[in-house]
Structure 1
Amino acid sequence: MYSPHAATSITDASSLSMAELKDAGTLIRLAYQSLKSLGINAEKVLEDADLDIDQLYNSKLRTPHWGQQVFWQAAETVSDDPLIGLKIGKRMPLFKSVVLEHLFISAQNYGEGLTRVLNYQRLISDAIDLTLHDDAGSDEVWLTFKYPNNDLRHLIDCSAMVLVQVMRTSSDGALLAKKIDICHDGADYREEYERLLGCPINFGTDENRIYFEKSALAARSLHNHPELLDFHTRCAEAQLEDLKRRDLINDVRHQIGAMLETGDLTSETIARALSMDAHDMVSRLREAGTSFSEILNDYRHHLSRKLLLATDEPISEIVYLTGFSEPSTFYRAFKRWEGVTPVEFRKRYAKAEEGPDQ
């Protein structure tokens, strides 16, 4: 049976900064398909959002969450539709995240299934916070959903639409939204919101909430399958571990940037800054298919290119800023990276910017 909890939410992304938060590429792929089905120029939306359609074919794509604002602005501009978030959500093909779907429907009941999905919500996005609330004195439960920037109206509308549809369809109609609270103002379009979402809407609330009958969570799933549940739990764990390995790479990069000018850049000093055992860090980076020296080398390479092209800093200062102890070491490394010296590299690109007629 489903056991009530005051709140059910697990997130492994709470330590990430806004710039580091990413969303699963599945979200953009499904939004693209929805735009196409609505007859909207989906390629133009991607172009205006600085996205390449070829990226959508990368199975491990995760896009920066800050790009959501750009994407939804592009979608509204191209569609000229103030309710584009709702309509994209309505047209989104369901059941495309097979692991999470099977975690939900293979559980003994829908409450257990939903709790399991919440445990792996990061597979959808680092930014979303889904929490199930269960008041012992109420016959309702409610699912809250929020993002770091709750001003992204279209994203919130799309999320509400998708959650309502997925819960209803995955539960064979057992989990029907009774009412929805939405934190932004949409009262001018209330009739359309309630038609599409299928229930009464309260606007301007302090949180986004979707309410369900508590008894529906105890309903047994017709698709209960313990072996499939176990299999997809292992799949979800593997995907979550992959994200954690990527987190470690980002953490190492961040610490390299913070300590670069000290020149004291070893796996031991970086591990100490991350409160990790050096051997454990090296081992986990190896599992992620990289190494500390590779990350450091890559960071220095990109930083030196940026400083040479975007600033007038003298080479001696760039040597210091990139954490090299000697100019000769920097020159050798740069020539290995680019095939030319730093001075030749800067001259080449300066001449290219001047153009042939300058």
Structure 2
Amino acid sequence: MTQRSDIVTLADQFQILASLGRDLRDYCAPLGIDLDAIAKPLQIDTDCFEDFEARVSFDSFCRLMEALAVISGDETFGLKFGRFSKPSGTGPFGFGLSNAPTFRDMLTFYAKYVRIIADLDVFNATIEKNRIAIEWTHSPLITQCEQFVDYSAATALRLFQFHAGRPFTVLEARFERREPRDKTPYNDLFSRNIRFGAEINELVLPGDVLDSVNPSADRVMFDFMAQKCEAITQKLNRKKDIITMLKEEFIQTMAKNDRAIADISRRLGMSERTLQRRLKEAGSSFWEVYENTRDELSLRLLKDTDLSLEEISHQVGYSSQSAYSRAVKRWHDMSPLQLRRHLRAHA
């Protein structure tokens, strides 16, 4: 039988700073939500939210945010929590940002040390003549993250406006999340020029904020926090293993049924022979990783979404629902509907 502990996957290697959840209890209490009861099945001990050095599973934290949005009945839960949470909840990173002498200093610090906050795949800050483009994304293995995307964008905008010394309108915004039922809160907070379902998250800021001065900055404290963050970053630096890299590639192309080993090895920047050798050294094979990724994605979609079996069949790369059903039966000795009921009963 498949339990939650059986489907702990490579997504759990990605982590975020636990103290991002420090204000969740205060935010949830007026809503009548028992935070501990929601966090426990996700294997999150909420006591760690008070620890500025602790880290938790990025995937589990995202799932917690999604669950809280559903329970509260508020699809803008992440946006509102982002505006509610205190910037001091991020330890040396937050203290460093708050003491940056200028907007430019803040942005440089943010880009250099943001991975202290979360294991991001991409974070770029591009300064052009009249605009500043900030883009970010995370591993595609983290599949339930709409509320976290909202939360991270809202907290980033608040920080940027603080350092600009004034509210400003975002020139453009793009988000990976699906389009919400009501776009008004997103238009009001970010921009009228906003797009959902994008390949990467992006906020484009007006260029004239770049040399804004922070009147409450402390240069000594800023330099000290930079040293602290540098030390933390050195401890966190790691390279993805070959199985993680391959799974991420499969997740991104699964629905297109794009599984030619020659094409995938080229996108990973290596020869087909090198990819196969590295997989063998890791005790696996190309097709084993592919089937495991299919199974893992299937489990997540059955458990965490209300997509139809036909839609899930397409998402995991099967040409028909019947072929998908046979695969699930082979993997778990039950039908997809039976497996969905089982997963939700044991969540």
**Under TM normalisation by the shorter chain, which class is it?**
0.5 to 0.7
**Selected match of 2:225 from 217, 220, 232:** 232
* Deviation (angstroms), 1:200: 4.2
Aligned residue in 2 for 1:189? 182
State the partner residue of 1:23: 16
Alignment check: 8 A CA contact 1:175 1:216 kept:
no
The answer (yes or no) to whether the contact 1:41–1:78 under 8 Å persists in 2 is no
* Counterpart among 131, 135, 154 of residue 124 in structure 2: 131
The amino acid across from 1:233 in the alignment is A
Give the Cα–Cα distance (whole angstroms) in 1 for the partners of residues 229 and 46 of structure 2: 27
Task: Please report how far the alpha carbon of residue 109 of structure 1 lies from its aligned counterpart in structure 2 after TM superposition.
Answer: 2.0
> Residue deviations 1:31-59, cap 9 Å, x none?
34432354433233223433223333444
Match of 2:37 among 39, 44, 64: 44
2:67 is aligned with 1:74: yes
Question: CA separation of 1:220/1:73 partners in 2, compared to 1, >3 Å: closer, same or farther?
Answer: closer
The correspondence for 1:205, drawn from 179, 195, 198, is: 198
TM-score, normalised by the number of residues in structure 1 = 0.56
Cα distance, 1:101 vs. partner? Answer: 3.4
Q: 1:178 aligns with which of 171, 175, 185?
A: 171
**Mapped pair 1:140 → 2:140:** no
- TM-fit CA distance, 1:198: 6.2
**Is 1:117 aligned with 2:96?**
no
Report if the CA contact (8 A) 2:102-2:163 is conserved: no
Instruction: Name the CA shift for 1:47/1:102 in 2 (closer, same or farther; >3 Å).
Output: closer
Gap change, CA 1:161 and 1:203, over 3 Å in 2: same
Structure 1 residue 174: Cα displacement? 6.3
5 Å-filtered alignment, 1:1-358, equals 18-36=11-29, 38-127=31-120, 129-136=122-129, 139-149=130-140, 151=143, 152-173=145-166, 177-186=170-179, 188-197=181-190, 200-244=193-237
Say if 1:165 and 1:30 are closer, same or farther in 2 by CA, change over 3 A: same
Q: Is the 8 A contact 2:164 2:213 kept in 1?
A: no
Percentage of matched positions with identical amino acids: 17
**Residues 168 and 176, structure 1, Cα contact 8 Å, conserved in 2:** no
1:106-130 deviation per Cα after TM superposition (whole angstroms, max 9, x unaligned): 3442112211121111210123632
Q: Is the 8 A contact 1:95 1:101 kept in 2?
A: yes
Q: Distance in 2 between matches of 1:38 and 1:196?
A: 22
Q: C-alpha root-mean-square deviation of aligned residues, in Å?
A: 2.9
Residue 209 of structure 1 and its aligned partner are, at CA, apart by 0.9
Q: Matched residues in 2 for 1:22 and 1:81: separation?
A: 25
Aligned equivalent of 2:281: none
Could you tell me how far apart the structure 2 residues matched to 1:91 and 1:229 are?
A: 24
- 1:300 aligned partner: none
My pick for the range that moved more, 36-45 or 86-95, is 36-45
1-structure distance, mates of 2:63, 2:178: 21
Given that 1:37 and 1:91 are in contact with CA atoms closer than 8 Å, whether structure 2 keeps it comes out as no
Counterpart amino acid of 1:153? E
Q: Partner amino acid for 1:237?
A: E
Unaligned runs of 5+ in 2: 1-9, 242-347
One-letter identity of the residue aligned with 1:22: Q
Asked which structure has the greater CA Rg, the reply is 1
List runs of 5+ in structure 1 lacking aligned partners: 1-16, 252-358
Q: Separation in 2 of the partners of 1:89 and 1:184? A: 16
Q: What CA distance in whole angstroms lies between the structure 2 residues aligned with 1:212 and 1:142?
A: 6
Distance of 1:44 and 1:170 partners within structure 2: 37
Letter of the 1:223 counterpart: S
Following superposition, the deviation at residue 132 of structure 1 comes to 0.5
53 and 65 in structure 1: CA distance in 2 versus 1, 3 angstrom threshold: closer
